[in-house]
Amino acid sequence: MLKEKICKDLYEEIERLERSIIELEDEIIELKAQLRAKTEEVTSLAIENQNLRYKLERLRRTHERLIEMLKKMNFPIIIINENEDE
């Protein structure tokens, strides 16, 4: 009788542990999917950042060329830096 009780308790514990393992495996799958989604988002943001840096650099160079061209034409210009406090 005692042997059967111990075996039954062990069997129930094994079943409980198997259910826990299945739950953990499901959670791991979900976490991997979330990680994959975040990785894709980070990659997308990095590409967008790179594109914006490229566009900003192009605008900066165009701005500098326009200023140089106006200076060579002796066109009176006043450059105002809007970022500085007065």
List average pLDDT for each run of 10 residues in the chain, which is 86 residues long: 84 96 98 98 98 98 91 78 66
Distance between CA 45 and CA 48 in Å, rounded?
A: 5
CB 71, CB 77: distance < 8 Å: yes
- What is this structure's pTM? 0.60
pLDDT at 76: 75
Distance between CA 36 and CA 82 in Å, rounded?
A: 42
pLDDT at 82: 76
Distance between CA 31 and CA 40 in Å, rounded?
A: 14
Q: Looking at 1-86, list the stretches that DSSP marks H as alpha helix, in order from N- to C-terminal side.
A: 2-72
